Amino acid sequence: MSQMRLSEVFKRCKTEGRAALIGYLTAGDPDVASSHKLLARLASHVDIIEVGMPFSDPMADGPVIQAASERALASGTKIADVFAITAELRSANPELGIVLMGYANIAYAMGFETFAQKAKAAGADGVLLVDIPPEEGGICDAIFAAHGLDRILLLSPTSTDERIRLADQKGTGFIYYVSLTGITGAEMGAMDGIREKTRHIQSMTDKPVCVGFGVKTPQQVADVAAFADGVVVGSHFVSQITSHDGTDAIADALGSSALAMHQAIASGA
């Protein structure tokens, strides 16, 4: 069912007349034990969760998520912990979409076949490796497909029609539209431009198009949800870890924030 689950999530949200809410946290941040609790709390208020695989050189990420990777690695987080957290999320949330997000080095060092086997066994539905563009997908596409894992691809404001067609051809699950030409956590650009590009991509694919990077407030979530198939919130959720003291307080803040964003989508719908 794994490769069908993301599709079912978007179908369910469409039936409800709303966009999907996608939340991100880095696994192992601030430590493995706390991370289990924090990701579980976030999962209770989102439709899809991106489980970040901590990496020493997260080049696409801004300071907030870079620091999250540093904290996770400093606390001793291993890829085995990421799989264990994913398995716990899957066990507790049978209908939740789960995407492992990170960088190619992790899967390459493990071996794509082994990585895919373990990701599938843990209950992941898809993989987003930000530094493997569609042109280089020959090293992993067939392996992920064989294990029932969607391969999520990125598009940006500078993506040409040729690039959009390639992402549509090579990617599965959904297309992740990066709303700005920068790193995670930066400020969003003008909503009119984001809307226009998103709708253009939608006109060229039958896959859901989800918008992320820079989305931080319930109002922004509602604005993006008015035209996108999904809204991705990352740095805002990660920032709660350093804004509150203690796992319980962080979990409460995550829950409140995610609920507010979910309600903003529902209200807009």
**Residue 111 CB coordination number (10 Å):** 11
Report the DSSP beta bridge partners of residue 128: 101
User: What is the distance of C-alpha 120 from the center of its chain?
Assistant: 17
H/E stretch holding 150: strand 150-151
Q: How far apart are the first and last CA of the chain?
A: 28
Picking from 96, 83, 79, the residue whose alpha carbon sits closest to that of residue 40 is: 96
Going through the chain in order, the beta strands assigned E by DSSP cover 20-26, 48-52, 97-102, 126-129, 150-151, 153-155, 175-178, 209-212, 230-233
Identified catalytic residue from 50, 81, 150, 229 = 50
Does the active-site annotation cover 113?
A: no
Question: Which one of the listed residues 61, 81, 168, 223 is annotated catalytic?
Answer: 61
Q: How far apart are CA 250 and CA 122, in angstroms?
A: 25
Residue 190 to residue 237: CA distance in whole angstroms:
22
Identify whether 162 is a catalytic site residue. Answer: no
- Going by C-beta distance under 8 Å and a sequence separation of 6 or more, which residues neighbour residue 83? 118, 119, 121, 122
- Helix, strand or coil for residue 194? helix
Residue 133's identity, in one-letter code, is: P
Active site residues: 50, 61
